[in-house]
Amino acid sequence: MSKKAVISIRNVSCIGNMEFSFELKPGYICLVGANGSGKTTLLNLLSRFLQYSLATYFYSSDIEGGEVSYRYEDRVKIWNRKNNRWIKTEETDKKNIISKGIYESGIVYGNRFIISSKDKIREYNNFYHSLNDSDTIPVSKFILEAMGLILKNRKEYYSEIRTITQVKMDEFIKSNTSENYLIKKEIPFLIKKGGGYITQYEMSSGEFMILRLLRFIDSKMIGKEPDTRLVLIDEVEIGLHPSAQKRLFSFFKSITREKNIFVIFSTHSQSIINICNPENIYLMENINGNVSYKNPCFPQYAVRNMYEINGYDYLIIVEDELARRIVLDIIKKNNLADNKLIHVMSGGGWTQIVNLMNDMYFNKLLPSSRVISVLDKDIKEKFYDKYMSPCLKCKYANPDDNVPYEDRNKFIKNNIMFKDDILFLPIPSLEKEIKNNLLESIDYDFIQMLDNTVFFKTISVFDTLDKYKEDRIDFEKKNDGKKYDKDGKKLWNLILESIVVSKSSDEFISYVCDLLMKKNNDQGDWLKFENDLRNSLNFIRN
């Protein structure tokens, strides 16, 4: 039976309409979005899967008419808001929809955030300051080690933290006349300082927050259950240093396996989002109450509206401006930047690019980005000769000369670690490809398709070619037969000068790419490059 859980929401708080689903198995979901996008509302509503009361979080009369439906396996429950009450209007099973789990809400409702006066906190601290050592016991191993690892990266760091049993606390309450509800309700966490103890209220805010969170999890999630349990946590990073936030995330990843739990948490922490797998990031977007989410979502794309951009999910380096425009055009046409931030830049000659990538890789210059290089087709053989193996051409390693370099299995050595991040354009360069089609291996169908467009109204392609030939003859006469326009750049610039002023060079490049793609479709080179680029931009490095 499917373990898929589905919640449908209509007219509750900031959510006018939304459907959200998840598979209940060990793992996690990271909810990301701007303030007001609906993260807290969604988590509050998800808590009803675990029998938490909707009235705790939603009691205002302005949600009259709201509806929330829950579906899991063969169980369905539907709640409606009528006459300032939540009323169950449909139920297929009396049991909890999801049998086990916990919810830790954010500020105001969460167990980490008990609102109290300074006087009551001071009285609470003084009550436990002179506690006898014999009245204390060690905290659980789970809390001690998790707190040390998360905050200090040392599981024994907080080995001196103590607490008291519930029985001992009940004894204290009976012998004390104080009406302070903290003393009556809250079991202390204690650290010996000087001649007495300090409580959690005298520790740092990070220590205070993480202690409450860990105690909550420890009290509810003892041992490993056969059925996956659901854990919901709002604003998981509050009060923590960025390095501790990362370790908290690693902690959650580990306990999903160890305790067989599925965690859904919300965060604004760039430190946490940056290390989340894109498949686990859900970017929530609220447009006039209609809430949708983008998944998978890459980290830099997810935080682009919350922080100043300080990196990209992908940096693509190409040799020149025309190659940059080709790559940008393919990205745009295939909607490859829908869930990730991509920057394409020209980096000079191919050897410079490889050296730059080498420097970036080993010195971790862009730790949150994957760097990809797209090189021209005509240097592929040089690249494989220099970096993949010195013996690619020898008969021992490669007896079949017809096997493409990238398909040869017997690489003798590999001088670069990022060989999988190198792609090759399906053409030597756009300028060389155009020159080849127009003047060398002349393709009259291609010329005709190029000429019969909105780009050439006043000057035809044929007129442009005649002008180019005249310039070439004149140059070679004056320079003793020296080769004219070896790389095709002069022809390309002349063509750009001939297109109508109402059309941009970007539009022309896009059109030329389409023509070349159609022309070479039988060979499959352009399609292969598109697929390679798409796969590289969807690749998730562990």
d(CA 470, CA 474): 6
DSSP designation for 407: G
Res 393: pLDDT = 47
Residue 51's pLDDT band, with cuts at 50, 70 and 90, is confident
Beta-bridge mates of residue 214? none
Report the helix count and the strand count for the chain, using DSSP H and E. Answer: 19, 19
Among 97, 44, 66, which residue's Cα sits nearest to residue 234? 44
Res 292: pLDDT = 96
The string of DSSP letters for 411-458 reads: -S----TTGGGEEE-SSS-HHHHHHIIIIIS--HHHHHHHHSSTT-SS
For residue 214 the two structure tokens come to 């860990």
d(CA 151, CA 204): 11
Domains and CATH numbers, the chain: 4-100+227-302 (3.40.50.300), 118-214 (no CATH), 314-426 (no CATH), 430-519 (no CATH)
The string of DSSP letters for 471-523 reads: HHHHHHHHTTTPPP-TTSHHHHHHHHHHS-TTS-HHHHHHHHHHHHHHHTTTT
Degrees, nearest 5: CA angle 77-82-83:
145
Q: What is the mean pLDDT of residues 327-338?
A: 90
d(CA 286, CA 431): 45
Among 308, 7, 302, which residue's Cα sits nearest to residue 294? 302
d(CA 68, CA 404): 58
Q: What is the mean pLDDT of residues 467-486?
A: 88
Residue 311: helix, strand or coil by DSSP? coil
Does the N-terminal peptide bond of residue 428 adopt cis geometry, omega within 30 degrees of 0?
A: no
Contact, 210 vs 133, CB < 8 A? no
Query: How confident is the model over 431-443, as pLDDT tens digits?
Result: 888 999 899 999 8
DSSP designation for 235: S
Res 112: pLDDT = 56
Res 382: pLDDT = 84
d(CA 85, CA 87): 6
Query: How confident is the model over 411-433, as pLDDT tens digits?
Result: 444 555 666 788 999 888 888 88
Q: Is the pLDDT of residue 24 over 80?
A: yes
Degrees, nearest 5: CA angle 234-238-242:
120
Does the N-terminal peptide bond of residue 426 adopt cis geometry, omega within 30 degrees of 0?
A: no
Res 449: pLDDT = 87
d(CA 299, CA 342): 12
Res 392: pLDDT = 46
Contact, 36 vs 14, CB < 8 A? yes
Query: How confident is the model over 60-92, as pLDDT tens digits?
Result: 656 778 899 999 988 899 989 888 888 888 888
For residue 351 the two structure tokens come to 């050897």
Report CA-CA distances (Å) from 165 to 138, 178, 201, 289.
Answer: 10, 19, 19, 47
Res 390: pLDDT = 47
Q: What is the mean pLDDT of residues 356-380?
A: 86
Res 115: pLDDT = 55
Q: How many C-beta neighbours within 10 Å does residue 62 have?
A: 10
Among 450, 474, 471, 468, which residue's Cα sits nearest to residue 460? 450
Q: Is the pLDDT of residue 342 over 90?
A: yes
Question: Which of 118-127, 136-145, 351-360, 518-527 comes out lowest in average pLDDT?
Answer: 518-527
Query: How confident is the model over 285-319, as pLDDT tens digits?
Result: 999 999 999 999 999 999 887 666 667 899 999 99
Q: How many C-beta neighbours within 10 Å does residue 219 have?
A: 13
pTM of the model: 0.75
Average pLDDT value over all residues in the chain: 84
Q: What is the mean pLDDT of residues 364-370?
A: 82
Contact, 42 vs 29, CB < 8 A? no
Higher pLDDT, 45 or 111: 45
- The label of the residue with tokens 């809430």 reads 291
Q: How many C-beta neighbours within 10 Å does residue 26 have?
A: 16
Res 265: pLDDT = 94
Residue 333: helix, strand or coil by DSSP? helix
Res 400: pLDDT = 58
Share above pLDDT 70 across residues of the chain, in percent, rounded to a whole number: 87
Beta-bridge mates of residue 81? 86
The string of DSSP letters for 282-301 reads: EEEEEETTEEEEESS--HHH
